[in-house]
Amino acid sequence: MSRLKGKTAFFTGAGSGIGLISSIRLAQEGANVWISDRDLTILEEAKKTGKAQGVVLNTIEADSTQSDSIKTAIDSISRDSGRIDILVNNAGGSLHTPYQFLDETDEDWKRVLDLNIMGTVVASRFVLPYMQQQKGGRIINFGSKAGRFGSLIAGANYAAAKGAISSLTRQLALEFGPYGITVNCICPGIVLTKRTTGLWESRRTPEERAKVLHEIPLRRHAVAEDISGVVAFFASDDAGFITGATLDVNGGQGMA
């Protein structure tokens, strides 16, 4: 499949997990893919993973909490590739801060908001002028079930940040739709990656985990491949008339 042939995509914070698997998926569909992370060792491992899957992943060091770092990365990618068609704001996480509201400090709030909502704001701010010049583009944001229904393993700071990303998605879709730019948001539930599995198992008892699993109509948690297909869809022309949408990808959790 080559739905994305000739397109350049940039993923923030995609050295592992959902971001890495999704970046490989877009590369398999023909995109020229760039991924960022602040850890060069992680980026080197990501390149090897991509190569093992038969694709090339371009890597660039960048810290999603630092505005200048992200601007430098985006400007560099634009110079190298001539355009940026797709931005995937993947960088995010709870940063292992306390998940009980009264235990969260001001610094816990700042760190999580900086990475999640401000990281999305900054990358979008710097890529949108390029997309305006091109008269088109795709921005794909990552919210979370936590931002819509709360979370059993991440705190109020994370839930608030992810809820804000859904609101930002709608506002950007409204403002930049006239330029042919679509902006959509994916809200996964629990996705079993190395990081989230450890967090889930450490913060909830086996009985609590079983109860949550029973509340998912499909009776399983997601894996990264469940999310990567949705990223590829939103990045493609198949989703060309969808913008401002927040799509739950959680196996039906939250319906009842």
Residues 6+ apart with CB under 8 A from 218: 251, 252
Q: Record the tokens describing residue 181, joined without a space.
A: 């730019």
Determine which one of 99, 130, 158, 179 is catalytic: 158
179 is catalytic: no
Cα distance from N-terminal residue to C-terminal residue, the chain: 37
Angle at 59 (CA atoms; ends 68, 171), nearest 5 degrees: 55
Q: Record the tokens describing residue 71, joined without a space.
A: 């601007």
In sign, the C-alpha dihedral spanning 29, 57, 127, 165 is positive
Burial class (CB within 10 angstroms; exposed 0-12, middle 13-18, buried 19+) of 178: exposed
Residue 78: closest CA among 54, 60, 94, 92: 60
Angle at 111 (CA atoms; ends 114, 39), nearest 5 degrees: 85
The percent of the chain in helix, strand and coil, each rounded to the nearest 5, is 55, 15, 30
Residue 1: closest CA among 247, 229, 180: 229
Give the active site residues: 158
